[in-house]
């Protein structure tokens, strides 16, 4: 697989998001053995960026990834996140230096490693100046506990302030054919500063795969039941968007998921999508998107698709984005 740079961090063109392996999309339950096989298959296929977070579970997703990487740690660029869980007694987001210190030790232990390649602030903490948070992270870089610093869903002003304290390697935010928000302000800034972009939910939480026709397909604990884009008239509108992707997939001789990922890969060599899956077969499908070639006309058609209806998170989560 082709490799690209996130800042100065070398990664394969497509990464793997592990959240859904035992959190948020679990439905009938998780299959740890299959999830570990999926991570191993990813490494076999040349995927390097493996993404998790402290809050997934909480903690259990990092433990799962740690088990999967045992004996293969050197093949992975391991990314995790902090700040959604407070270890200092605070309520809500906590990116205080004290919490950063406690969080990283827990993540290192659960992941079974002595360093984290890319450590993200999961959401901007409005009670802690980002300079203080990045200062604490910079100390961890000096100590060798983390190698690169990332932000997630931060706004342009915060990114600039953080980058002054210590170079930011990557910003992780949602980006796909149905979430185009980063294009207007964030991506131009990242390119100005030399920061890479990691796109989560590049398949629209499964919607762009063309396999979702009803929310009855979701388990009772599936968080998409609370997502505005999967409800009411929004859902019906967004089905038409998925149908447009399907039509181009037929032209290309690929799956809708591969077309959605191939489109994202055309947006720049500084963008790395991290589609999530807990099945090796879906992983193989996603990775094969690297070989799908879209014509200029097809790219233009995808570029011009009507935006998805509804916010891409629920109200509480939307308040944490773009700070």
- Each residue's pLDDT tens digit, 241-280: 999 999 999 999 999 999 999 999 999 999 999 999 999 9
- Each residue's pLDDT tens digit, 201-220: 999 999 999 999 888 888 87
Q: Which of 245, 266, 267 is nearest to 256 (CA)?
A: 245
Residue 16 placed within a domain? yes
Residue 322 placed within a domain? no
Residue 212 placed within a domain? no
Residue 260 placed within a domain? no
Residue 61 has pLDDT above 50, yes or no: yes
Query: Tell me, what's the pLDDT at 28?
Result: 47
Whole-model pTM? 0.96
The alpha carbon torsion through 123, 128, 130, 131 (nearest 10 deg) reads -160
Determine which of 24-28, 91-95, 112-116, 260-264 has the lowest per-residue pLDDT on average.
24-28
Phi and psi torsions of 241, nearest 5°: -60, -45
Domains held by the chain: number: 1
- Each residue's pLDDT tens digit, 114-173: 999 999 999 999 999 999 999 999 999 999 999 999 999 999 999 999 999 999 999 999
Active site amino acids:
56
CA separation (Å) from 60 to 19, 43, 67, 107?
A: 10, 21, 11, 11
Residue 190 placed within a domain? yes
Residue 215 placed within a domain? no
The alpha carbon torsion through 131, 193, 84, 221 (nearest 10 deg) reads 170
CATH number of 162's domain:
3.20.20.100
Q: Which domain holds residue 122?
A: 3-203+267-292
Give per-residue burial for 80-103: e unless 16+ CB within 10 Å, then b: bbbbbbbbeeeeebbbbeebbbbb
Query: Tell me, what's the pLDDT at 97?
Result: 98
Residue 129 placed within a domain? yes
Helix (H) or strand (E) holding 207: none
């Amino acid at each position: 697989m082709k490799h690209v740079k996130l800042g100065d961090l070398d990664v394969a063109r497509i990464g793997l998001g592990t959240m859904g392996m035992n959190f948020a999309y679990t439905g009938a339950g998780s299959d740890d053995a299959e999830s570990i096989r999926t991570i191993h298959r990813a490494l076999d296929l040349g995927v390097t960026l493996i993404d998790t977070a402290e809050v997934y579970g909480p903690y259990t997703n990092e433990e799962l990834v740690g088990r999967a990487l045992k004996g293969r740690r050197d093949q992975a660029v391991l990314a995790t996140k902090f700040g959604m869980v407070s270890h200092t007694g605070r309520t809500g987001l906590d990116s205080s230096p004290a919490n950063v210190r406690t969080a990283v030790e827990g993540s290192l232990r659960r992941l079974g490693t002595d360093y984290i390649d890319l450590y993200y602030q999961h959401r901007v903490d409005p009670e802690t100046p980002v300079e203080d948070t990045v200062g604490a992270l910079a100390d961890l870089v000096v100590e060798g506990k983390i190698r690169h610093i990332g932000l997630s869903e931060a706004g342009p002003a915060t990114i600039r302030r953080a980058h002054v304290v210590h170079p930011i390697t990557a910003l992780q935010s949602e980006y796909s054919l149905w979430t185009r928000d980063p294009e207007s302000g964030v991506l131009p800034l990242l390119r100005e500063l030399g920061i890479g972009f990691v796109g989560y939910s590049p398949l629209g939480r499964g919607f762009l795969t063309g396999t979702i026709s009803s929310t009855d397909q979701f388990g009772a604990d599936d968080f998409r039941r609370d997502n505005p884009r999967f409800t009411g008239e929004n859902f019906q509108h967004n089905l038409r968007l998925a149908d447009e992707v399907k039509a181009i997939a037929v032209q290309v001789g690929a799956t809708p998921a591969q077309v959605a990922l191939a489109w994202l890969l055309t947006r720049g060599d500084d963008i790395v999508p991290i589609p999530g899956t807990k099945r090796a077969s879906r992983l193989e499908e996603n990775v094969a998107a690297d070989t799908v070639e879209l014509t200029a006309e097809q790219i233009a058609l995808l570029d011009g698709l009507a935006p998805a209806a509804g916010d891409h998170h629920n109200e509480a989560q939307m308040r944490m984005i773009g700070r």
